Chain A
């Protein structure tokens, strides 16, 4: 066990090294594309615009590490945002509306977790696939094809404001705080070790006394909660809420986590890699934006990157590792 962990950390560090090199390379290219890139404000703003996805990445890392997947996060974000906007419109103070958004997110995640952890032989894929339809569907029922805006002016501070008198974007501070907490939980607590144990061998973990059901429940609830956090910042950024916001985020969030070295089959990866991948993805998007590449093409590129990142190591060691299509009965 110890030896295996050591080996994993070795490959991880190497992977993170590659990510850093890629980040530097992309930055140099971006710098050549735009003269404004190499300035403090340029870099900070480039990163801040993107960070609502970062919140989702953090908890998605947990989900992937235990060997599950959650494709309903984008829909949870949409539903949280819509409910938040509607409850503000109904007269709730904005502060309470924010808490409502978090509660809706956590509630949806809890519902996912409830089914995935308690019902035997159910797969996270189908629950969250159905969930992604259900949650966004509820958002459509609530709001139709309308948009709700007109939030108080301080609300836009969350996504656009700077911390105090400094010129550090507020969202970056919040994100770093969250990343620190998630990193500590994952890498420095027994809870984190249990996540890796579950991802490496769920059955063994259960027989070693890991409370598998409870942990799955927590992890999916956290993922919903972070989707709620993302909803708050995304809505603040957009200034209004619609049922179709955050479409396609699930792909990008999973892609970032996997690009960061988190294995979708569970048991491998970490927060640092995911954060580096987040920066890399943002810089790539920034560069593509400078080159006027449309969003649809970006999605093509992201899709190819995701498949490539998973596939290339598999092809290199195809004789050693075998695909595990069927899961062991729980």
Chain B
């Protein structure tokens, strides 16, 4: 029943995406051109990668507010590195970003798992810590486009099979994490920890390790996204992605991830990210002032959370009814 409902839910998001695209397309025909759709996917690529990391954290019942400034910090370090060593290949930069992000994520993860600090307190603090370090190492300066070699910027502009490289990277990330979350033991253990941490501990899952792991993986992904961000916008700034964590959380809850843990699928999050990408892209096209974006995002999160709760309550009720019917039948 739950599986069917979740499938229904994803189907619902797809229908909604189609309807909203047609409506915006009527208002502004340019919206549905291939160029714009490609641009939209390009923006969504980075968001969707971040959303995967956030999803795993949310599934364990935590939250990672530090991802936006972790992204800025890895982006800044990567920018400074590529400025000093223009011969570094883009692939190496992505790898460096993932390692750096992994280190930052591992620190946050240790604070949450070993230090037993509430995820919200730990990641709120680390959000400001990483942001502050970004300012300190950069001295308040930006890394600009002319300071980056073409090979690095080509990461975003170059294409593979008609898609920008960034989109290809996002697809690879999705395939890898789809497999990891659904078909590996560790991946399933993340859900076990999120559904019932006591039970998970009793059946022998190393819950501390799993919690540390999700923050580290979130770090690896925001490190990757940080390098991609700098390549895409060809600048590394101190306030890169400031406030972006709201967008990430919005994409997750839109995709059906429960903030209290245990529930959330990779495919749902992909749809959620695409939906946010469409909304962000469409707002300027239908001439909504950019100042509306922030409030709309908050509203979207609230509505999505309420809908999630409604759906899961209905599912639970249906399940109870079914159990009741079965009990009556056996009598």
Please name the residue on chain A nearest to B63 by beta carbon: A125
Return the CB mask of B109-138 against A: 1 if under 8 Å, else 0: 001001111111110111111011101100
Q: Is B128 in contact with A326, judged by CB distance below 8 angstroms?
A: no
B298 beta carbon closer than 8 Å to chain A: yes
| Contact partners of A133 in chain B: CB under 8 A | 243, 246, 294-295, 297-298, 301
Would B309 and A119 count as touching, CB distance under 8 A?
Answer: yes
Q: Is B291 interfacial (CB 8 A cutoff)?
A: yes
B5-13, B20-28, B253-261, B278-286: which one contacts chain A?
B253-261
Complex interface residues of chain A between 212 and 271 (CB less than 8 A to chain B):
248, 250-251, 254-255, 258, 264-265
Contact A130 B298 (CB under 8 A): yes
Question: Quick one: CB contact mask for A134-158 with B, threshold 8 Å, 1 for yes?
Answer: 1111101100110000000000000
B128 x A299 contact (CB < 8 A): yes
Contact A325 B125 (CB under 8 A): no
Q: Would you call A8 an interface residue if the criterion is a C-beta within 8 Å of the partner chain's C-beta atoms?
A: no
Q: Mark A117-135, 1 if CB is under 8 A from B, else 0.
A: 0011111011101111111
Tell whether A29 is near chain B: CB-to-CB under 8 Å: no
> Are A302 and B128 interface neighbours, CB within 8 A?
yes
Which residues of chain B are near A321, meaning CB under 8 Å? Answer: 116
B60 CB–A CB distance under 8 Å: yes
Residue A296 interfacial (CB < 8 Å): yes
Cα A119 to Cα B162 in complex, Å, equals 47
Q: Which residues of A contact B293 (CB under 8 A)?
A: 137
A residues in contact with B298, CB < 8 Å? 130-135, 137
Q: In the bound complex, do residue A327 and residue B128 qualify as a contact, i.e. CB atoms below 8 Å apart?
A: no
Q: Which of A255, A296, A306 contacts B136 (CB 8 A)?
A: A296
Q: Which of B238-254 contact A (CB under 8 A)?
A: 243, 246, 249, 253
CB-CB nearest in chain A for B249? A129
Assuming the contacts A129-B249, A137-B294, A140-B294, asked whether A121 and B125 have C-beta atoms less than 8 A apart, the reply is no
Task: Report how many A-B pairs have Cβ atoms within 8 Å.
Answer: 165
Chain B residue nearest to A79 in the complex (CB): B295
Answer whether A304 and B125 are a contact pair too, CB < 8 Å, given A121-B260, A122-B305, A326-B197. yes
**Which stretch, A160-168, A182-190, A310-318, touches the partner chain B?**
A310-318
> Which of the residues B114, B197, B299, B309 comes within 8 Å of A122, measured between beta carbons?
B309
Which residues of the partner chain A approach B117 to less than 8 Å between Cβ atoms? 307, 310-311, 314
Most buried by B among A134, A250, A254: A134
Tell me whether B309 and A138 are in contact (CB under 8 A): no
Across-interface contacts of A126 in B (CB, < 8 A): 249, 253, 259, 301, 305
B250 to chain A, nearest CB (A): 8
Query: B33 an interface residue at 8 Å Cβ cutoff?
Result: no
Q: Are B296 and A137 in contact (CB under 8 A)?
A: yes
Q: What per-residue 1/0 map shows which CB atoms of A268-287 lie under 8 Å from chain B?
A: 00000000000000000000
Within 8 A of B (CB), among A5-54: none
Residues of B within 8 A of A121 (CB): 260, 309, 312-313
How far is B136's CA from A299's CA once the two chains are assembled, in angstroms?
11
User: Is the beta-carbon distance between A137 and B295 smaller than 8 angstroms?
Assistant: yes
The answer to whether B102 has its CB under 8 Å from any CB of chain A is no
Docked-complex contact B121 and A258, CB < 8 angstroms: yes
Give bound CA distance, A311 to B109, whole Å. 13
Q: How far is the CB of A166 from chain B (nearest CB, A)?
A: 38
Q: How far is the CA of A71 from the CA of B112 in the complex (A)?
A: 19
In the assembled complex, the Cα of A138 lies from the Cα of B136 at a distance in Å of: 32
Closest B residue to A135 by beta carbon equals: B298
Bound-state Cα–Cα, A302 to B129, Å:
8
Contact B121 A307 (CB under 8 A): yes
Inter-chain contacts of B211 with A (CB < 8 A): 325
B51 to chain A, nearest CB (A): 15
Contacts of B126 in A (CB 8 A): 303, 307
* B residues whose Cβ falls under 8 Å from a Cβ of A: 60-63, 111, 114-122, 124-129, 131-133, 135-136, 194, 196-197, 211, 243, 246, 249, 253, 259-261, 289, 291-299, 301-302, 305-306, 309, 312-313
User: What would 12 A/B residue contacts be, using CB atoms closer than 8 Å?
Assistant: A115-B302, A134-B295, A134-B299, A137-B294, A144-B291, A250-B124, A264-B118, A297-B135, A300-B128, A303-B125, A326-B194, A326-B261
> Given A137-B298, A140-B292, A307-B126, list of 17 further CB < 8 A pairs?
A123-B260, A129-B246, A131-B298, A133-B297, A134-B294, A134-B298, A137-B292, A140-B291, A141-B291, A144-B291, A299-B128, A299-B131, A299-B132, A300-B129, A321-B116, A325-B61, A325-B119
